[in-house]
């Protein structure tokens, strides 16, 4: 099964593509230099932003929370998850040499599908680069 994420206004300008089998998930993050943000992290009002702010506050003094916040915002170019052993996708295996053949195979299959679909890898919206300040957006995504 293939999946695309191309953006949601300025709320989430983080294009990615993925391939999932029964046991594995491969994610290709097209622009890992962009911050991953969502409605919950950029909307001016609502429970989502309050929840996100609570994580950011906790991250100031809790290294575990800081790692979770960083992992959410900063994504690597490629991700690979063993869904049987890691159904919550907590352990990215893409950089492990023992999974290099699987990563290469899934990458090639995903790229072939992207080509078949005419995927131009267009970036929709205005991205935030890693390190840029996060601006909150009004209803509608800015």
SS (H, E, C) 74-112: CCCCEEEEECCCCCCCCCCCCCCHHHHHHHHHHHHHHHH
Q: Does 60 reside within a domain?
A: yes
Q: Does 109 reside within a domain?
A: yes
Count how many domains the chain has. Answer: 2
Q: What is the pLDDT of residue 115?
A: 98
Say whether both 118 and 83 belong to one domain.
yes
Q: What is the pLDDT of residue 140?
A: 60
Choose the final residue of a domain: 49, 73, 97: 73
Q: Does 139 reside within a domain?
A: no
Q: Does 92 reside within a domain?
A: yes
Say whether both 46 and 107 belong to one domain.
no
Q: Does 18 reside within a domain?
A: yes
CATH number where 80 lies: 3.30.1120.10
Q: Does 6 reside within a domain?
A: yes
- Tokens matching residue 48: 């989502």
Say whether both 29 and 80 belong to one domain.
yes
Say whether both 46 and 61 belong to one domain.
yes
- The phi and psi torsions of 134 (rounded to 5 degrees) equal -90, 120
pTM of the model: 0.90
SS3 46: coil
Say whether both 123 and 56 belong to one domain.
no
Say whether both 88 and 109 belong to one domain.
yes
Say whether both 89 and 125 belong to one domain.
yes
Q: Which domain holds residue 62?
A: 40-73
pLDDT values of the chain reduced to their tens digit, one per residue, 142 residues: 999 998 778 888 999 999 999 999 999 999 999 999 988 899 888 888 999 999 999 999 999 999 999 999 999 999 999 999 999 999 999 999 999 999 999 999 999 999 999 999 999 999 999 999 998 888 665 5
Q: What is the pLDDT of residue 121?
A: 94
Check if the beta carbon of residue 59 is closer than 8 Å to that of residue 68.
yes
Say whether both 61 and 26 belong to one domain.
no
């Amino acid at each position: 099964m293939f999946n695309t994420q191309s953006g949601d206004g300025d709320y989430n300008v983080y294009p990615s593509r993925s391939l999932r089998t029964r046991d594995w998930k491969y994610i290709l993050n097209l622009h890992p230099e962009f911050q991953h943000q969502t409605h919950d992290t950029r909307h001016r009002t609502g429970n989502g932003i309050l929840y996100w702010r609570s994580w950011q506050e906790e991250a100031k003094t809790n290294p575990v929370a800081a790692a979770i916040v960083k992992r959410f915002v900063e994504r690597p170019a490629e991700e690979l998850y063993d869904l049987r052993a890691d159904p919550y996708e907590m352990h990215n295996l893409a950089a492990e040499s023992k999974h290099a053949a699987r990563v290469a195979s899934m990458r090639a299959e995903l790229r072939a599908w992207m080509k078949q679909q005419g995927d131009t890898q267009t970036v929709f919206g205005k991205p935030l680069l890693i390190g840029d300040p996060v601006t909150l957006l009004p209803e509608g995504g800015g």
